[in-house]
Amino acid sequence: MTARVLIKDLAALPDGPVSVAGWVETVRDQKKVQFVVLRDESGAVQLVNPRTVGDDGVVVADEPAVTISSLSQGTFVRATGELKHDERVKLGGIEIRLSTLEVETTAIPETPIAADSGIDKRMDWRFLDLREPRHNLIFRVQTTFEHALRQYWVDNGFVEIHTPKLMASASESRAELFELPYFETTAYLAQSPQIFKQMAQAAGFGRVFEIGPAFRADPSFTSRHATEFTSVDTEISWIDSHEDVMKVHEELLVAGFTAVKEKHGEEIERLFGVEITVPSTPFPRIPLAEAKRIVAERGYEVQREDDDMDPEGERQISAYVKETYGHEFVFLTDYAASIRPYYHMRHPEDPSITRSYDLIFNGVEISTGAQREHRVDILEKQAVEKGLSVEELEDVLAFFRYGIPPHGGFGMGLARVLMLMLHLSNLRETTYLFRGPTRLTP
């Protein structure tokens, strides 16, 4: 059998015999000639089958004509034939004159979703939804983006770790934690790899990274929340402040965006109407108090009882940064200690604020980062201030008691980054199989 060729590679081949395989997208069954548009994971090609006509002028019921007449959309087939380059062919300037067509699996003719189906209906039939080139491209972009991040980490001496997702206790509180039976006790699904990243600093790893699942028992139904998501995490030793973390963070994103633009930029522009912009460095940095003042001057008062920024405030400050700096990213820094975890280091000059930041991308927060408090006595004090039990945190605090360098890091939501990169409105689009409060299938 002739080896299968990916459709994207056909244009570079000379005319001659080829074998392709994929699913049927459309069929035009005409009297004198049949056309099949075949799509695989890399693209689409036109298959052509001139009908056989007898001496009496009647079309002969031969193969592969009979098979083509019975094809339904979505049926998976193998095809062999002669590759022909012809600039008159609209679909890539090539076509395949069929010799044989073999059906591997037949699809039900009536498809349950259409181009105008709502997102929940599409999620019900995600495997069909992902056959669409636009939706398929999202996960090719994701692959390129993740590979570029890994390349940056490896090139800069980071160690990859795979942290457990089953935990014996809550690292901060039991809010938004999934509990599950675990033999004779109770386990919790990890909200983040935070404590394990810090443990690696105590182990002397220096710089670590992980791309892995995280879980939040958050009953939110917004377009940017999920109960299971992929978290991109980094932690580094021997930092002077959160500024060192931000520098790594922006360099990492530049590497990812550069790779996506180089490999997929033209296709993204064609299918999404979006031009990928590689962000310049350094990213703008604005202390939170100043950001709130800027937002107020734009006519919006942050609607929160605590000291945090709200979603509309994030959109407003992003609009300001875009107008002022022409930048899609902004670090909001120096968050109040009242809204940050006990392990965020506080400013020595003003202990009411922390050496931390949120990274806002196109109006949405995608990441939180900080310098961590590495002095165990201060950690204990700050935990008590947050109403936490030092005894319950002992497993975490133990590795601080044996020495740990100054360190910091961040966690970043992968689906949010992709959603905002492609200017989409819902992270369900950029999540392979979404999990939310009311969705556990498919």
pLDDT digits (tens, 9 = 90+) for 133-153: 999 999 999 999 999 999 999
The model's pLDDT over 192-211, given as tens digits with 9 standing for 90+, comes to 999 999 999 999 999 999 99
The model's pLDDT over 219-274, given as tens digits with 9 standing for 90+, comes to 988 888 999 999 999 999 999 999 999 999 999 999 999 999 999 999 999 999 99
Name every residue whose Cβ is closer than 8 Å to that of residue 439 and which is 6 or more positions away in sequence: 123
DSSP 288-301: HHHHHHHHHHTT--
Residue 390 is given by DSSP the state: T
Cβ contacts of 149-157, under 8 Å, gap ≥ 24: 149/209, 149/211, 149/232, 149/252, 149/255, 149/256, 150/209, 150/211, 151/255, 151/259, 152/251, 152/252, 152/255, 152/256, 153/207, 153/209, 153/234, 153/252, 156/207, 157/206, 157/207
Q: 3-class SS at 87?
A: coil
Give the lowest-confidence range in 64-78, 174-188, 308-322: 174-188
pLDDT value of residue 374: 98
Q: Residue for token digits 């959160």?
A: 242
Q: Whole-angstrom Cα distance, residue 16 to residue 29?
A: 25
Q: Whole-angstrom Cα distance, residue 302 to residue 41?
A: 46
Greater confidence, 366 or 307? Answer: 366
The model's pLDDT over 381-411, given as tens digits with 9 standing for 90+, comes to 999 999 999 998 998 999 999 999 999 999 9
Helical (H) or strand (E) element with 83 = strand 76-85
The model's pLDDT over 4-32, given as tens digits with 9 standing for 90+, comes to 999 999 999 999 999 999 999 999 999 89
Q: How confident is the model at residue 1 (pLDDT cuts 50, 70, 90)?
A: low
Q: How confident is the model at residue 171 (pLDDT cuts 50, 70, 90)?
A: low
Instruction: Provide the strand spans (E) within 306-382.
Output: 329-333, 356-361, 364-371
Q: Whole-angstrom Cα distance, residue 209 to residue 228?
A: 19
Q: Report, as an integer, the average pLDDT of 84-111.
A: 96
Give the lowest-confidence range in 93-97, 169-173, 328-332: 169-173
Q: Around 227, how many Cα atoms within 13 Å sit in the side-chain half-sphere?
A: 16
pLDDT value of residue 39: 98
Model confidence at 96: pLDDT above 70: yes
Q: How confident is the model at residue 113 (pLDDT cuts 50, 70, 90)?
A: very high
pLDDT value of residue 58: 80
Given strand 185-189, what is the order of strands in its sheet?
A: 166-167, 185-189, 179-182
Of the candidates 423, 307, 413, 404, the residue with the CA atom closest to the CA atom of residue 354: 307
Cis check for the bond before 112: say yes or no (omega within 30 of 0): no
Mean pLDDT of the chain, nearest integer: 95
Cα dist from 102 to 33, 63, 94, 127, whole Å? 18, 10, 21, 23
Given strand 356-361, what is the order of strands in its sheet?
A: 159-160, 207-215, 228-237, 407-413, 364-371, 356-361, 329-333, 285-287
Model confidence at 334: pLDDT above 60: yes
